[in-house]
Chains A and B, each alone.
Chain A
Amino acid sequence: MLLAEHFARPPAWGAWILLYFFFAGLAGGAYVIATIVRLRGGRSSPIAHTGYLLAFLCVLVCPIFLTVDLGQPLRFWHMMVDTTPGGLGLNLNTATPMSLGVWALLIFGFFSLVSFLAELNAGWSRPARTLLGGSLGTAFAVIGSLFALFVAGYTGVLLSVSNQPVWSDTPALGGLFLASGMSGAAAAIGLLAGRAERPGDTDMEGLDRADAYFAALEVVLLVVFFVTIAIAGTLGTALRMPWTLLWLVAIASLAFPLRGLGGRDARIQAGSGAVAGARTLRASAALTAAVVLIGVLALRAAVIFSAQ
């Protein structure tokens, strides 16, 4: 199905696209995690609060990276409006994730903005706050999460929908980027919301556990990725030096969140040896978050650059 010998030229997607993929993953992941916490009854949890704030701040920079990467940045709107003479309609090419992604990003931007403002309680009348705080607000967040999931994952599909060796040889990239984005978002939320954490905080324990599950999912998808490109005969391309180092960083970084499968206390003991306390918790969370986020970035860099 996926085997193909092509002679495609690399599109020279570089740092801007890498940053976009990174922040799109974090934005989507943060929004989904916040919504899950909300669905689980943690409407006022620091995790939900931080998640919605982080999602919007991350999605805010995404269009900037995308636009700067264009050869003609001032024509960014050509993605949405058909400027072919006689066209003048809207552009939606369902065959390419790039076109779908632009619209999804726009819609997700709206959802994340509303959720962001709702968290800040800025400019909302009392009825509006009541509305967004109730079941209607939850439904709103759930719908927003669908777009968030798409934004976090479609970037991988975008790479696959090409004739580029490695990218087009595997169906795993969409899922891999999604799982990685969720893991990175969990780590980032843990870091930012961790200020409020105390030993025995079950919300933060849950976040650690979620991060561990996302990391485990990522491991499974990494195996699928490597097996599929090995079958296609492009494993050697993906693992060329110096990209091997990025793969190693991405894979090694998964060890940190995976420790969460053993529970937070186990992690603290592993990290400090004896003393468990708020400071240790914060240091451990910060270290884990930093390593996970570096891993999320390294994974995307390895995928983007090794194939080019």
Chain B
Amino acid sequence: MPRVVKSREEFEGEVFESLVLVEGKDLPVPPAGTEFVEIAHSRRRIDGPQRVTGRARYTQDIYLPGMLHVRVLRSPYPRARVRRIDTKKAEALPGVRGVLHRFNAPKASFRGEETIFREEVRFVGDEVAAIAADDEQTAVDALRLIEVDYELLPHVVDLEEAIGDMAPRLETDGNVAEAATHKRGDAKRGLKEADFVVDATYRTSTQLHNSLETHGAVATWDGEQLTVYESTQHVFGVRQGLRTALKLPFSKIRVLCDYMGGGFGSKGGVGKYSIIASLFTMQLGRPARCVLTRDEENLAAGNRSATLQQLRVGGKGGRITALEHTSWANVGQGKWVANPTGPTNTLYDIANLSSKSYKVVTNAGSLSAFRAPGYVEGTFALESAIDELADKMGVDPLVLRRKHAASPKDPMVGKRYSDKHLIECYRIGAAEIGWQRRRRSGGIRGSAPHRRRGIGMATQIWGGGGGPPAYATVHVNPDGTVVLTTGTQDIGTGTRTVLAQICADELGVELDDVQVRLGDTDNPYGPISAGSLTVASVGPAVRIAARDAREQLLGAAAGVLETPMAELRLEGGVVVTKGARTPLSEILTKVDNNTVIGKGARHPNDPDLSLRTFGAHFAEVEVDVRTGEITVEHVVAVHDIGRIVNPTTARSQVEGGVLQALGFALSEERFVDRATGRVMNGNLENYKVPTVKDVPAKITVKFVDRPDRRANNLGIKGLGEPPIIPTAAAIANAVANATGARVRHAPLTRARVLEALAIAGAKS
């Protein structure tokens, strides 16, 4: 019988208590050292052939007969009132089939607003109108013929300007709103009693996701049913958003995402483009496609907030006595804020702590979750400050961290961690990088007299373990082949492969015989592919579904072979008895047409435990003190993320995280012109994502690889986000170690390094 149970899950740094529907009993966790057939073995991605042949169909590749192409007119002003729109000339253009704007669009709720075309546009890129035409070029031509009468309003785009008194007030309560606070002990007193205090301000710039597949949707309405193909990390989230916007019941909306070209957090729900495409298809009766251009992607599809962070850290007697952390984040027109003080609150066992996180509204594009939102920004500041303190105290920064990193209890919520191997991560990382070579200050001579070499490190903490709800079914066909079905997505992390491995293992069939169907709201519910929770949420449900199917199969085999079920095993698609081996297909074909369906639900997390992933990155860098150029020579990444299902894909994820972090650390920075509010580098030419030439000479990936027995029935925690979190701080700490120059603003561009070198030189 299904029943409702309480669960506690962490998502993007926040903890949620929820009620979930489950059925049956959870399975016990296979202990460490269990010999699996598929799990814990490197396997090639099962969707590899599709992806390398161009056969994988992404949202962008959906072309339906009679499809209309939609393009959006976006505000060229950061803040303005749309007084009048004249679309006569645009509508007269042959091939134009429809126009939507604030004066004619039907009501559609989107993120708390009742319309998708605002009267007051609030950032450059805000939606003003949309055109549907027979082909894309006609739509583009028509956009140019729309005449809009804007009344310009005062704007502010810069974080620090928006906090100040001179800025226009964008919200009635002002531009700054408190978002999160945490207090324990007495930080003021702890700082007063400290022998050493670091009081420093850190900044991080706005990072743009630049998923290679831009946001987009293709919608088609058949008079009854709306089908939306969307590049999304959460088909069920999109369905929810469409239901809210269009007032259709769930049964009439189907959202699909088979292959997906990257999201990194930005594709968590419905977009205005999906609603616009849906409105057009419902009005005009033809499929409609609205796929963003690269430029639009970088204006209106989210970003990682720029932050301003103040930290005060006190030390005494080789320990940290107190910590104060205040953060302001530029959320643009976003409704939420990621929390950069998250790692401060939870990473170290520091008795006296006070943190505050503020959300600052500006006339810039909204933030959206970006791979470990808040934690990347916050860890840069926190872990830089800890190193600065260690330097002042004259202690090894790793030794200082170790004193506060061993606690088995979450210092914020007071609950025990389900598992924790952070000290082990430190040990492995220090050995791999050669920490003993690190000189306390001044670094090591590099490959030339003007090049200095240094070593630094930083720690990561992030939620993990996933949680319910997540469901899966395992269908076994009469020929012994298997279809695993769940509603979650594979956004490039290898979810399809890893779930197939879990299924094959538990069921006792060959991996090649398992097909995985996902990314479809007609499937059993699967969670958002985000928050490092996909496999830890869905994997345990898959295991239960596979176990259920296996028991049914063995029951069938017992009947056909006339052997007691207890004497049967299913291995590699073969039913094994004491004396014989019978292929599953042979057994199933003896039973008239049949489908065996196993069902599984994710069981709840223990509400009394705190589930976290831990890890540490170590970096060795060389700094050219004449040009300020940083060369990252070696990054060692060590993570405690529970059991590893596929070592190859896990390793790839870590390398990818390190490289995305390298962009955040060294080169990626959105520039917005303060006077006009325009993004100056919303393209891949001037916004610098790392290329193959920027890859460090060496990346070492290590895992503690111990199942977290209290996390879920597989002992998995989660991996997507951990590897992007500590890299920038490790690099900044290595730069400071190499040169004595402390760069407190990420990215550490050459200009910032040179400036810090000048300050360090002036001080010494």
| Bound pair (A, B) | no
Chain B positions near chain A (C-beta within 8 angstroms): none
Chain A positions near chain B (C-beta within 8 angstroms): none
